[in-house]
Structure 1
Amino acid sequence: MQEQTAAGEITLAGTPIGNIGDASARLRELLAGSDVIAAEDTRRLHRLLQGLQIAPTGRIISYHEHNEEARTAELLDLVRSGNNVLMVTDAGMPSVSDPGYRLVEAAVAQGLRVTTAPGPSAVLTALTLSGLPTDRFCFEGFLPRKPGERKARLAELSREQRTMVFFEAPHRLEVMLRALSQGFGGNRKAAVAREMTKLYEEVLRGPLEELLRWSESTEVRGEIVVVVAGAPDKPPEDPADHVAAVDTLVSGGIRLKDAVSSVAEDARISKRELYAAVLAARGK
Protein backbone atom coordinates (compact mmCIF):
# COMPACT_ATOMS: atom_id res chain seq x y z
CA MET A 1 0.00 0.00 0.00
CA GLN A 2 1.37 3.42 -0.96
CA GLU A 3 2.36 5.63 1.94
CA GLN A 4 0.52 8.93 2.20
CA THR A 5 2.61 12.08 1.88
CA ALA A 6 2.94 14.17 5.04
CA ALA A 7 4.90 17.34 5.68
CA GLY A 8 6.24 15.95 8.95
CA GLU A 9 7.75 12.64 10.02
CA ILE A 10 8.70 10.59 13.06
CA THR A 11 12.32 9.62 13.61
CA LEU A 12 13.29 6.93 16.11
CA ALA A 13 16.85 7.63 17.24
CA GLY A 14 19.29 5.50 19.19
CA THR A 15 20.98 7.20 22.13
CA PRO A 16 24.19 6.15 23.94
CA ILE A 17 23.83 3.20 26.30
CA GLY A 18 26.68 4.49 28.45
CA ASN A 19 29.49 6.29 26.68
CA ILE A 20 28.29 9.69 25.49
CA GLY A 21 30.94 9.57 22.77
CA ASP A 22 28.77 7.03 20.96
CA ALA A 23 26.26 9.75 20.04
CA SER A 24 26.22 9.97 16.26
CA ALA A 25 26.49 13.16 14.25
CA ARG A 26 22.97 12.56 12.98
CA LEU A 27 21.60 12.23 16.51
CA ARG A 28 23.20 15.56 17.39
CA GLU A 29 21.58 17.21 14.36
CA LEU A 30 18.18 15.76 15.22
CA LEU A 31 18.37 16.81 18.86
CA ALA A 32 19.28 20.34 17.82
CA GLY A 33 16.82 20.80 14.99
CA SER A 34 13.71 18.65 15.47
CA ASP A 35 10.43 20.48 15.98
CA VAL A 36 9.44 18.14 18.81
CA ILE A 37 11.48 15.73 20.95
CA ALA A 38 9.45 13.00 22.65
CA ALA A 39 11.58 11.59 25.48
CA GLU A 40 11.03 8.66 27.82
CA ASP A 41 12.58 10.68 30.66
CA THR A 42 12.99 14.41 30.08
CA ARG A 43 15.51 14.70 32.92
CA ARG A 44 17.81 12.18 31.30
CA LEU A 45 17.34 13.90 27.98
CA HIS A 46 18.45 17.21 29.48
CA ARG A 47 21.57 15.51 30.91
CA LEU A 48 22.33 14.13 27.45
CA LEU A 49 21.82 17.54 25.87
CA GLN A 50 24.13 19.15 28.41
CA GLY A 51 26.77 16.49 27.84
CA LEU A 52 26.60 17.04 24.09
CA GLN A 53 26.44 20.84 24.53
CA ILE A 54 23.27 21.04 22.46
CA ALA A 55 20.56 23.66 22.89
CA PRO A 56 17.44 22.23 21.25
CA THR A 57 15.21 24.59 19.28
CA GLY A 58 12.16 22.34 19.46
CA ARG A 59 9.61 21.52 22.12
CA ILE A 60 10.38 18.68 24.56
CA ILE A 61 7.58 16.46 25.84
CA SER A 62 7.53 13.28 27.89
CA TYR A 63 6.50 10.00 26.29
CA HIS A 64 6.52 6.94 28.52
CA GLU A 65 4.50 3.84 29.34
CA HIS A 66 2.07 5.75 31.56
CA ASN A 67 1.06 8.37 29.01
CA GLU A 68 1.65 6.56 25.70
CA GLU A 69 -2.01 6.36 24.71
CA ALA A 70 -2.78 10.07 25.08
CA ARG A 71 0.59 11.28 23.84
CA THR A 72 0.51 9.05 20.75
CA ALA A 73 -2.57 10.84 19.44
CA GLU A 74 -0.96 14.21 20.23
CA LEU A 75 2.26 13.34 18.42
CA LEU A 76 0.42 12.10 15.35
CA ASP A 77 -1.52 15.37 15.21
CA LEU A 78 1.77 17.26 15.33
CA VAL A 79 3.18 15.19 12.46
CA ARG A 80 0.07 15.70 10.36
CA SER A 81 0.40 19.45 10.89
CA GLY A 82 3.94 19.38 9.49
CA ASN A 83 6.19 18.85 12.53
CA ASN A 84 9.20 16.57 12.58
CA VAL A 85 9.06 14.50 15.77
CA LEU A 86 12.15 12.87 17.28
CA MET A 87 11.53 9.89 19.57
CA VAL A 88 14.27 8.96 22.07
CA THR A 89 14.39 6.74 25.12
CA ASP A 90 16.74 6.61 28.09
CA ALA A 91 19.33 4.52 26.22
CA GLY A 92 19.54 2.51 23.03
CA MET A 93 16.87 2.17 20.37
CA PRO A 94 13.25 3.13 21.05
CA SER A 95 10.63 0.33 21.08
CA VAL A 96 13.13 -2.36 22.17
CA SER A 97 11.75 -2.97 25.68
CA ASP A 98 11.16 0.79 25.68
CA PRO A 99 8.37 3.12 24.50
CA GLY A 100 8.03 3.60 20.76
CA TYR A 101 6.22 0.58 19.36
CA ARG A 102 2.71 2.01 19.84
CA LEU A 103 3.72 5.26 18.18
CA VAL A 104 5.13 3.45 15.15
CA GLU A 105 2.13 1.13 14.92
CA ALA A 106 -0.32 4.05 14.98
CA ALA A 107 1.72 6.13 12.53
CA VAL A 108 1.98 3.27 10.04
CA ALA A 109 -1.77 2.62 10.31
CA GLN A 110 -2.42 6.27 9.41
CA GLY A 111 0.09 6.37 6.57
CA LEU A 112 2.46 8.79 8.29
CA ARG A 113 6.17 8.63 7.56
CA VAL A 114 8.42 6.88 10.09
CA THR A 115 12.19 6.64 9.77
CA THR A 116 15.13 5.92 12.05
CA ALA A 117 18.53 7.22 13.00
CA PRO A 118 20.22 3.94 14.04
CA GLY A 119 22.37 3.98 17.11
CA PRO A 120 23.67 1.99 20.06
CA SER A 121 21.83 -1.18 21.06
CA ALA A 122 22.32 -2.98 24.38
CA VAL A 123 21.03 -6.20 22.77
CA LEU A 124 23.60 -6.28 19.98
CA THR A 125 26.43 -4.95 22.15
CA ALA A 126 25.98 -7.70 24.74
CA LEU A 127 25.57 -10.35 22.05
CA THR A 128 28.84 -9.44 20.38
CA LEU A 129 30.68 -9.34 23.72
CA SER A 130 29.27 -12.65 24.99
CA GLY A 131 31.52 -14.97 23.04
CA LEU A 132 28.44 -17.04 22.14
CA PRO A 133 27.16 -17.78 18.61
CA THR A 134 25.80 -14.68 16.88
CA ASP A 135 24.59 -16.17 13.59
CA ARG A 136 21.12 -16.87 15.00
CA PHE A 137 19.70 -15.22 18.12
CA CYS A 138 16.46 -14.05 19.71
CA PHE A 139 15.64 -11.24 22.13
CA GLU A 140 13.42 -12.21 25.07
CA GLY A 141 13.39 -8.95 27.03
CA PHE A 142 12.58 -9.30 30.73
CA LEU A 143 11.46 -12.65 32.11
CA PRO A 144 8.16 -12.67 34.07
CA ARG A 145 8.62 -11.76 37.73
CA LYS A 146 6.10 -14.28 39.07
CA PRO A 147 7.85 -17.64 39.70
CA GLY A 148 5.18 -19.74 38.01
CA GLU A 149 5.07 -17.59 34.88
CA ARG A 150 8.85 -17.42 34.75
CA LYS A 151 9.15 -21.21 35.03
CA ALA A 152 6.61 -21.68 32.24
CA ARG A 153 8.43 -19.24 29.97
CA LEU A 154 11.76 -20.99 30.54
CA ALA A 155 10.15 -24.36 29.84
CA GLU A 156 9.10 -22.97 26.45
CA LEU A 157 12.63 -21.74 25.80
CA SER A 158 14.43 -24.86 27.03
CA ARG A 159 14.67 -26.26 23.49
CA GLU A 160 15.41 -22.92 21.80
CA GLN A 161 18.58 -23.45 19.77
CA ARG A 162 19.28 -19.79 19.04
CA THR A 163 21.38 -17.68 21.38
CA MET A 164 19.01 -15.84 23.75
CA VAL A 165 19.35 -12.27 25.02
CA PHE A 166 17.58 -11.07 28.18
CA PHE A 167 17.36 -7.83 30.15
CA GLU A 168 17.33 -7.86 33.96
CA ALA A 169 17.51 -5.44 36.87
CA PRO A 170 20.65 -5.84 39.02
CA HIS A 171 18.71 -6.58 42.23
CA ARG A 172 16.87 -9.46 40.50
CA LEU A 173 19.88 -10.97 38.72
CA GLU A 174 20.52 -13.72 41.29
CA VAL A 175 16.91 -14.91 41.13
CA MET A 176 17.04 -14.87 37.35
CA LEU A 177 20.31 -16.82 37.09
CA ARG A 178 18.97 -19.43 39.52
CA ALA A 179 15.85 -19.83 37.40
CA LEU A 180 17.92 -20.08 34.21
CA SER A 181 20.20 -22.67 35.80
CA GLN A 182 17.20 -24.74 36.90
CA GLY A 183 15.41 -24.38 33.60
CA PHE A 184 18.33 -24.87 31.20
CA GLY A 185 20.84 -26.77 33.34
CA GLY A 186 23.80 -25.35 35.22
CA ASN A 187 26.27 -26.28 32.48
CA ARG A 188 24.61 -24.11 29.83
CA LYS A 189 27.06 -21.41 28.68
CA ALA A 190 26.09 -17.81 29.30
CA ALA A 191 27.42 -14.29 29.79
CA VAL A 192 26.44 -11.40 32.03
CA ALA A 193 27.28 -7.96 30.65
CA ARG A 194 27.04 -4.92 32.90
CA GLU A 195 27.77 -1.20 32.48
CA MET A 196 28.54 -1.70 28.78
CA THR A 197 30.60 1.07 27.15
CA LYS A 198 31.05 2.72 30.57
CA LEU A 199 34.18 3.05 32.71
CA TYR A 200 33.45 -0.06 34.77
CA GLU A 201 32.25 -2.28 31.92
CA GLU A 202 32.36 -5.93 32.91
CA VAL A 203 31.49 -9.12 31.03
CA LEU A 204 31.47 -12.43 32.90
CA ARG A 205 31.35 -15.61 30.84
CA GLY A 206 30.89 -19.20 31.92
CA PRO A 207 28.35 -21.88 32.81
CA LEU A 208 25.14 -20.63 34.43
CA GLU A 209 26.03 -22.32 37.73
CA GLU A 210 29.28 -20.33 37.94
CA LEU A 211 27.55 -17.07 37.12
CA LEU A 212 24.96 -17.84 39.79
CA ARG A 213 27.67 -18.35 42.40
CA TRP A 214 29.23 -15.04 41.38
CA SER A 215 25.91 -13.21 41.75
CA GLU A 216 25.35 -14.76 45.18
CA SER A 217 28.60 -13.30 46.48
CA THR A 218 28.54 -9.92 44.74
CA GLU A 219 26.50 -6.75 45.06
CA VAL A 220 25.61 -6.34 41.40
CA ARG A 221 25.11 -2.83 40.11
CA GLY A 222 24.47 -1.15 36.78
CA GLU A 223 22.53 -2.01 33.63
CA ILE A 224 22.43 -5.77 33.04
CA VAL A 225 22.10 -7.89 29.89
CA VAL A 226 22.24 -11.69 30.11
CA VAL A 227 23.11 -13.77 27.05
CA VAL A 228 22.50 -17.53 27.11
CA ALA A 229 23.60 -20.17 24.61
CA GLY A 230 20.89 -22.03 22.77
CA ALA A 231 20.05 -25.65 23.45
CA PRO A 232 22.45 -28.14 21.86
CA ASP A 233 21.29 -30.06 18.84
CA LYS A 234 19.29 -33.07 19.95
CA PRO A 235 20.98 -36.30 18.81
CA PRO A 236 18.88 -38.39 16.45
CA GLU A 237 16.72 -41.03 18.08
CA ASP A 238 18.05 -44.58 17.87
CA PRO A 239 15.19 -46.92 16.87
CA ALA A 240 16.81 -49.67 18.93
CA ASP A 241 16.07 -47.66 22.08
CA HIS A 242 12.34 -48.11 21.45
CA VAL A 243 12.24 -51.86 20.79
CA ALA A 244 11.30 -52.57 24.42
CA ALA A 245 8.27 -50.27 24.14
CA VAL A 246 7.10 -52.20 21.08
CA ASP A 247 7.57 -55.54 22.87
CA THR A 248 5.53 -54.25 25.80
CA LEU A 249 2.60 -53.40 23.54
CA VAL A 250 2.86 -56.70 21.69
CA SER A 251 2.85 -58.64 24.96
CA GLY A 252 -0.35 -56.80 25.81
CA GLY A 253 -2.07 -58.18 22.74
CA ILE A 254 -1.45 -55.45 20.17
CA ARG A 255 -0.37 -56.54 16.70
CA LEU A 256 3.30 -55.93 15.89
CA LYS A 257 2.49 -53.62 13.01
CA ASP A 258 0.18 -51.50 15.13
CA ALA A 259 2.63 -51.45 18.04
CA VAL A 260 5.46 -50.27 15.79
CA SER A 261 3.22 -47.58 14.30
CA SER A 262 2.15 -46.32 17.74
CA VAL A 263 5.65 -46.18 19.23
CA ALA A 264 7.17 -44.61 16.10
CA GLU A 265 4.55 -41.87 16.11
CA ASP A 266 5.11 -41.08 19.80
CA ALA A 267 8.90 -41.08 19.41
CA ARG A 268 8.78 -39.28 16.04
CA ILE A 269 10.98 -41.84 14.34
CA SER A 270 10.70 -43.85 11.15
CA LYS A 271 8.25 -46.77 11.34
CA ARG A 272 10.34 -48.66 8.80
CA GLU A 273 13.55 -48.24 10.82
CA LEU A 274 11.81 -49.21 14.07
CA TYR A 275 10.31 -52.32 12.49
CA ALA A 276 13.77 -53.30 11.21
CA ALA A 277 15.21 -52.77 14.70
CA VAL A 278 12.52 -55.02 16.24
CA LEU A 279 13.25 -57.78 13.74
CA ALA A 280 17.00 -57.41 14.34
CA ALA A 281 16.46 -57.73 18.09
CA ARG A 282 14.50 -60.91 17.50
CA GLY A 283 17.26 -62.31 15.30
CA LYS A 284 15.18 -62.25 12.14
Structure 2
Amino acid sequence: MADDAAPPGDAARTREQAKQWKKERKLLAQKKAQAPQDAPRAKAQGRVADPPDVQLSKTLSYILRHGTQKEHLEVRADGYVRLDAVLARPRVQKIAMDDTGRSPSSDDVEVVVQDNAKKRFELTSGSDASPTDDGTCRWIRAVQGHSIAAITDLSHTSLTTSNVGEHLAEENGMHYAIHGTDESAFEQILASGALKRMQRNQIHLAKGRPGASGLISGMRQRCSRLLYVDVGRALSDGVPFGISSNGVVLTPGVGDTGALPLSYVSYVTDAEGRQVWTCHASTQ
Protein backbone atom coordinates (compact mmCIF):
# COMPACT_ATOMS: atom_id res chain seq x y z
CA MET A 1 0.00 0.00 0.00
CA ALA A 2 1.32 3.47 -0.83
CA ASP A 3 2.47 5.62 2.10
CA ASP A 4 -0.15 8.33 1.39
CA ALA A 5 -3.12 5.94 1.10
CA ALA A 6 -5.99 6.65 3.49
CA PRO A 7 -6.46 4.25 6.41
CA PRO A 8 -9.27 1.73 5.89
CA GLY A 9 -11.50 3.52 8.42
CA ASP A 10 -11.11 6.89 6.67
CA ALA A 11 -11.88 5.36 3.26
CA ALA A 12 -15.07 3.84 4.62
CA ARG A 13 -16.16 7.18 6.07
CA THR A 14 -15.43 8.89 2.72
CA ARG A 15 -17.58 6.36 0.88
CA GLU A 16 -20.40 6.85 3.40
CA GLN A 17 -20.19 10.63 3.03
CA ALA A 18 -20.38 10.35 -0.76
CA LYS A 19 -23.44 8.12 -0.46
CA GLN A 20 -25.07 10.56 1.96
CA TRP A 21 -24.39 13.55 -0.27
CA LYS A 22 -25.79 11.68 -3.29
CA LYS A 23 -28.90 10.79 -1.28
CA GLU A 24 -29.39 14.39 -0.16
CA ARG A 25 -29.02 15.72 -3.72
CA LYS A 26 -31.58 13.18 -4.94
CA LEU A 27 -34.05 14.19 -2.23
CA LEU A 28 -33.55 17.87 -3.03
CA ALA A 29 -34.18 17.26 -6.74
CA GLN A 30 -37.35 15.30 -5.93
CA LYS A 31 -38.67 18.09 -3.69
CA LYS A 32 -37.97 20.67 -6.38
CA ALA A 33 -39.76 18.59 -9.02
CA GLN A 34 -42.79 18.05 -6.78
CA ALA A 35 -43.08 21.66 -5.63
CA PRO A 36 -45.57 23.86 -7.59
CA GLN A 37 -43.74 26.02 -10.08
CA ASP A 38 -44.12 29.74 -9.58
CA ALA A 39 -45.48 31.51 -12.63
CA PRO A 40 -42.89 33.74 -14.27
CA ARG A 41 -43.15 37.33 -13.14
CA ALA A 42 -45.16 39.40 -15.56
CA LYS A 43 -43.07 41.94 -17.43
CA ALA A 44 -44.11 45.20 -18.95
CA GLN A 45 -43.34 45.47 -22.65
CA GLY A 46 -40.58 47.72 -23.90
CA ARG A 47 -37.21 48.67 -22.49
CA VAL A 48 -36.61 49.57 -18.87
CA ALA A 49 -35.33 52.95 -20.05
CA ASP A 50 -38.62 53.68 -21.85
CA PRO A 51 -40.78 56.41 -20.24
CA PRO A 52 -43.80 55.03 -18.34
CA ASP A 53 -46.27 56.08 -21.03
CA VAL A 54 -44.25 54.23 -23.68
CA GLN A 55 -44.10 51.12 -21.51
CA LEU A 56 -47.87 51.34 -21.03
CA SER A 57 -48.49 51.80 -24.76
CA LYS A 58 -46.31 48.82 -25.69
CA THR A 59 -47.88 46.65 -22.99
CA LEU A 60 -51.40 47.53 -24.14
CA SER A 61 -50.38 46.79 -27.72
CA TYR A 62 -49.07 43.35 -26.77
CA ILE A 63 -52.06 42.41 -24.64
CA LEU A 64 -54.77 43.64 -27.01
CA ARG A 65 -53.15 42.31 -30.19
CA HIS A 66 -51.63 39.04 -29.05
CA GLY A 67 -51.85 38.31 -25.33
CA THR A 68 -55.45 38.14 -24.13
CA GLN A 69 -55.36 34.37 -23.68
CA LYS A 70 -52.06 34.37 -21.80
CA GLU A 71 -53.36 37.20 -19.65
CA HIS A 72 -56.63 35.33 -18.97
CA LEU A 73 -58.73 38.11 -20.43
CA GLU A 74 -62.05 37.76 -22.22
CA VAL A 75 -61.92 39.33 -25.66
CA ARG A 76 -64.87 39.94 -27.95
CA ALA A 77 -64.96 39.26 -31.70
CA ASP A 78 -64.71 43.04 -32.22
CA GLY A 79 -61.47 43.11 -30.21
CA TYR A 80 -62.82 44.97 -27.19
CA VAL A 81 -61.68 44.03 -23.67
CA ARG A 82 -62.88 45.60 -20.44
CA LEU A 83 -60.38 48.25 -19.39
CA ASP A 84 -60.67 47.49 -15.67
CA ALA A 85 -59.71 43.86 -16.38
CA VAL A 86 -56.68 44.99 -18.40
CA LEU A 87 -55.55 47.40 -15.65
CA ALA A 88 -55.77 44.58 -13.08
CA ARG A 89 -53.22 42.38 -14.87
CA PRO A 90 -49.78 42.09 -13.18
CA ARG A 91 -48.06 42.97 -16.47
CA VAL A 92 -49.80 46.36 -16.33
CA GLN A 93 -49.75 46.79 -12.55
CA LYS A 94 -45.96 46.64 -12.39
CA ILE A 95 -45.52 49.72 -14.61
CA ALA A 96 -44.50 52.63 -12.36
CA MET A 97 -46.12 55.78 -13.71
CA ASP A 98 -44.26 58.11 -11.34
CA ASP A 99 -41.63 58.18 -8.60
CA THR A 100 -44.11 56.78 -6.07
CA GLY A 101 -44.47 53.58 -8.10
CA ARG A 102 -48.14 54.27 -8.86
CA SER A 103 -49.72 51.72 -11.22
CA PRO A 104 -51.49 52.91 -14.40
CA SER A 105 -55.03 54.25 -14.10
CA SER A 106 -57.81 54.64 -16.65
CA ASP A 107 -56.79 58.30 -16.99
CA ASP A 108 -53.24 57.21 -17.96
CA VAL A 109 -54.68 54.89 -20.60
CA GLU A 110 -56.86 57.72 -21.92
CA VAL A 111 -53.77 59.88 -22.40
CA VAL A 112 -51.85 57.04 -24.12
CA VAL A 113 -54.76 56.40 -26.50
CA GLN A 114 -55.13 60.09 -27.38
CA ASP A 115 -51.39 60.72 -27.77
CA ASN A 116 -50.50 57.56 -29.72
CA ALA A 117 -49.06 58.81 -33.00
CA LYS A 118 -50.24 55.77 -34.95
CA LYS A 119 -53.72 55.77 -33.37
CA ARG A 120 -53.44 52.08 -32.51
CA PHE A 121 -56.20 52.00 -29.88
CA GLU A 122 -59.87 52.83 -29.44
CA LEU A 123 -61.70 53.49 -26.18
CA THR A 124 -65.45 53.41 -25.71
CA SER A 125 -68.00 53.27 -22.91
CA GLY A 126 -70.69 50.65 -22.52
CA SER A 127 -72.38 48.39 -20.04
CA ASP A 128 -70.51 45.90 -17.87
CA ALA A 129 -71.47 43.21 -20.39
CA SER A 130 -70.99 44.95 -23.74
CA PRO A 131 -69.33 48.03 -25.24
CA THR A 132 -72.29 48.43 -27.57
CA ASP A 133 -74.82 48.99 -24.75
CA ASP A 134 -75.30 52.20 -22.79
CA GLY A 135 -73.24 52.54 -19.63
CA THR A 136 -70.09 53.91 -18.04
CA CYS A 137 -67.89 50.79 -18.15
CA ARG A 138 -64.76 51.51 -20.21
CA TRP A 139 -63.68 49.15 -23.00
CA ILE A 140 -60.50 49.21 -25.10
CA ARG A 141 -59.23 47.53 -28.26
CA ALA A 142 -56.35 47.67 -30.73
CA VAL A 143 -57.62 48.63 -34.19
CA GLN A 144 -55.27 46.35 -36.18
CA GLY A 145 -52.25 44.08 -35.90
CA HIS A 146 -53.94 41.14 -34.18
CA SER A 147 -52.81 37.53 -34.09
CA ILE A 148 -55.79 36.42 -31.97
CA ALA A 149 -58.01 34.13 -34.06
CA ALA A 150 -61.14 35.00 -32.06
CA ILE A 151 -61.02 38.62 -33.28
CA THR A 152 -62.93 38.62 -36.53
CA ASP A 153 -65.06 41.80 -36.60
CA LEU A 154 -63.09 45.02 -36.21
CA SER A 155 -65.53 47.16 -38.22
CA HIS A 156 -62.97 48.00 -40.90
CA THR A 157 -64.05 49.86 -44.01
CA SER A 158 -64.35 47.31 -46.83
CA LEU A 159 -62.68 48.25 -50.10
CA THR A 160 -64.44 47.51 -53.37
CA THR A 161 -63.72 48.14 -57.02
CA SER A 162 -66.25 50.99 -56.76
CA ASN A 163 -64.79 52.82 -53.74
CA VAL A 164 -61.08 52.02 -53.95
CA GLY A 165 -60.41 55.33 -55.69
CA GLU A 166 -61.84 57.19 -52.69
CA HIS A 167 -59.31 55.64 -50.33
CA LEU A 168 -56.12 54.85 -52.26
CA ALA A 169 -53.81 56.86 -54.51
CA GLU A 170 -53.63 56.09 -58.22
CA GLU A 171 -50.48 55.73 -60.28
CA ASN A 172 -50.38 54.67 -63.95
CA GLY A 173 -53.96 53.45 -63.66
CA MET A 174 -53.17 51.41 -60.53
CA HIS A 175 -54.76 52.03 -57.13
CA TYR A 176 -51.97 50.91 -54.85
CA ALA A 177 -50.96 50.25 -51.27
CA ILE A 178 -47.42 49.59 -50.05
CA HIS A 179 -46.05 46.74 -47.99
CA GLY A 180 -42.83 47.78 -46.26
CA THR A 181 -40.13 45.32 -45.24
CA ASP A 182 -36.34 44.92 -45.12
CA GLU A 183 -33.96 43.42 -47.66
CA SER A 184 -33.61 40.06 -45.90
CA ALA A 185 -37.38 39.57 -45.56
CA PHE A 186 -37.85 40.66 -49.18
CA GLU A 187 -35.53 37.87 -50.34
CA GLN A 188 -37.71 35.41 -48.41
CA ILE A 189 -40.82 36.87 -50.04
CA LEU A 190 -39.25 36.40 -53.47
CA ALA A 191 -38.33 32.81 -52.62
CA SER A 192 -41.87 31.99 -51.47
CA GLY A 193 -43.58 33.87 -54.30
CA ALA A 194 -46.05 35.65 -52.04
CA LEU A 195 -46.63 38.11 -49.24
CA LYS A 196 -47.74 36.21 -46.13
CA ARG A 197 -49.62 37.32 -43.05
CA MET A 198 -47.28 35.21 -40.87
CA GLN A 199 -48.61 35.09 -37.29
CA ARG A 200 -51.03 37.96 -37.79
CA ASN A 201 -54.60 37.69 -38.97
CA GLN A 202 -53.95 39.93 -41.97
CA ILE A 203 -51.22 41.33 -44.20
CA HIS A 204 -50.53 45.00 -43.43
CA LEU A 205 -49.99 47.70 -46.04
CA ALA A 206 -49.76 51.48 -45.99
CA LYS A 207 -51.55 54.04 -48.14
CA GLY A 208 -48.26 55.65 -49.13
CA ARG A 209 -44.53 55.92 -48.56
CA PRO A 210 -43.12 56.61 -45.07
CA GLY A 211 -43.42 60.31 -44.31
CA ALA A 212 -46.19 60.89 -46.85
CA SER A 213 -48.75 63.53 -45.94
CA GLY A 214 -51.63 62.07 -43.93
CA LEU A 215 -49.95 58.68 -43.47
CA ILE A 216 -50.43 57.53 -39.87
CA SER A 217 -49.58 53.86 -39.83
CA GLY A 218 -48.99 50.81 -41.99
CA MET A 219 -45.23 50.31 -41.98
CA ARG A 220 -42.10 51.07 -39.98
CA GLN A 221 -40.00 54.08 -40.91
CA ARG A 222 -36.86 51.95 -41.30
CA CYS A 223 -38.26 49.76 -44.13
CA SER A 224 -35.78 49.46 -47.01
CA ARG A 225 -37.98 47.59 -49.50
CA LEU A 226 -41.38 48.99 -50.53
CA LEU A 227 -43.69 46.61 -52.42
CA TYR A 228 -46.38 48.37 -54.47
CA VAL A 229 -49.51 46.21 -54.47
CA ASP A 230 -52.13 46.69 -57.20
CA VAL A 231 -55.12 46.65 -54.86
CA GLY A 232 -57.63 47.49 -57.59
CA ARG A 233 -56.65 44.46 -59.68
CA ALA A 234 -56.63 42.19 -56.61
CA LEU A 235 -60.12 43.41 -55.71
CA SER A 236 -61.27 42.62 -59.24
CA ASP A 237 -60.04 39.06 -58.70
CA GLY A 238 -62.04 38.76 -55.48
CA VAL A 239 -59.22 39.31 -52.94
CA PRO A 240 -60.74 41.09 -49.89
CA PHE A 241 -59.22 44.31 -48.57
CA GLY A 242 -60.20 46.70 -45.81
CA ILE A 243 -58.94 49.84 -44.09
CA SER A 244 -58.68 50.22 -40.32
CA SER A 245 -59.67 53.41 -38.50
CA ASN A 246 -56.01 54.47 -38.39
CA GLY A 247 -55.62 54.05 -42.15
CA VAL A 248 -53.84 50.70 -42.40
CA VAL A 249 -54.75 48.69 -45.51
CA LEU A 250 -55.40 45.06 -44.59
CA THR A 251 -55.98 41.80 -46.44
CA PRO A 252 -56.22 38.19 -45.29
CA GLY A 253 -54.73 37.11 -48.60
CA VAL A 254 -56.16 34.61 -51.05
CA GLY A 255 -58.52 32.00 -49.64
CA ASP A 256 -57.31 30.28 -46.50
CA THR A 257 -53.65 30.39 -47.47
CA GLY A 258 -52.90 33.69 -45.77
CA ALA A 259 -50.83 34.71 -48.78
CA LEU A 260 -50.99 37.36 -51.49
CA PRO A 261 -49.22 36.18 -54.68
CA LEU A 262 -46.40 38.37 -55.97
CA SER A 263 -48.32 38.70 -59.23
CA TYR A 264 -50.28 41.47 -57.46
CA VAL A 265 -47.05 43.36 -56.65
CA SER A 266 -46.29 45.61 -59.63
CA TYR A 267 -42.83 46.71 -58.55
CA VAL A 268 -40.52 47.23 -55.58
CA THR A 269 -38.38 50.25 -54.67
CA ASP A 270 -35.78 50.96 -52.05
CA ALA A 271 -36.31 53.63 -49.38
CA GLU A 272 -35.12 56.35 -51.78
CA GLY A 273 -37.64 55.37 -54.45
CA ARG A 274 -35.22 53.56 -56.79
CA GLN A 275 -36.89 50.59 -58.46
CA VAL A 276 -35.20 47.30 -57.55
CA TRP A 277 -37.70 44.71 -58.85
CA THR A 278 -40.58 44.49 -61.32
CA CYS A 279 -43.22 41.78 -61.54
CA HIS A 280 -43.78 41.21 -65.25
CA ALA A 281 -46.84 39.08 -64.46
CA SER A 282 -48.61 42.15 -63.06
CA THR A 283 -48.64 43.82 -66.48
CA GLN A 284 -50.01 40.83 -68.36
- Per the normalisation by structure 2, the TM-score is 0.27
Normalized per residue, the structure richer in helix is: 1
User: Bigger relative contact order, structure 1 or 2, given CA contacts below 8 A and separation 6+?
Assistant: 1
Asked which structure has the greater CA Rg, the reply is 2
Q: TM-score, normalised by structure 1?
A: 0.27
